[in-house]
Amino acid sequence: MPEFLSGWPFWLVFGFLFLGAMLRGQGIYWLGRLATDQALRRTHPEGGWRLRAHRALSGDGAQRGVAAVRTWGLVIVPLAYLTVGFQSMVMLGAGILRIGWPRFTLAQVPGSLAWAGIYSTIGFAVWSAAIAAAAGSPAGIAALVALVAGIVLLLVLRRRRARRVAEELLP
């Protein structure tokens, strides 16, 4: 558990994490709902952060989130809280599809409760133990370095591919 939470009573840690999960989910949902309408339908950026936002909202991740919500309905929203990375795609997809706010929020509550329950009990302990075990041996350190290098390489390749596709689409 993060140091600043370690002295708090359980119910307060749980409430803090629940509120954080709700706010994060709502933020991504509203980003998808409002920014998609504004960015994709009304603008045609040619560079800078606006172009990057435009690409992110119309990219593979957002489309996977949209596809998941279309396939599974709102059941996928609480289930997404049990994943890493996919959660953001689903919240963004729900916003892009303009799912009604009350329905989205009701679907979000069980997932936020589960996420807060996991991370206020064993979640941070398991994560910390895995990092400590990996960092305690030369092979573990090499695995962590390889993982970080792989993630950086993947991000660089995806960015290059996105630029190439954008250059092909622009006249």
Clarify whether residues 68 and 151 are in a common domain. no
Residues 123 and 164 in one domain: no
User: Do 80 and 143 sit in the same domain of this protein?
Assistant: no
Q: When comparing pLDDT for 58 and 18, which is higher?
A: 18
Mean pLDDT of 43-51: 78
Least confident of 41-45, 61-65, 68-72: 41-45
The answer to whether residues 47 and 138 touch, using CB atoms and an 8 Å cutoff, is no
For residues 140 and 126, state if they share a domain. no
State how many domains the chain has: 2
Residues 144 and 80 in one domain: no
Poorest-pLDDT segment among 29-38, 109-118, 125-134, 146-155 = 125-134
- 140: domain range? 136-171
Instruction: Indicate whether this model's pTM tops 0.85.
Output: no
Amino acid residing at 19: L
Q: What does 32-56 look like in DSSP terms, one character per residue?
A: IIIIHHHHHHH----SHHHHHHHHH
Q: What is the pLDDT of residue 3?
A: 65
Q: Examine the domain organization and report whether 153 and 73 are in the same domain.
A: no
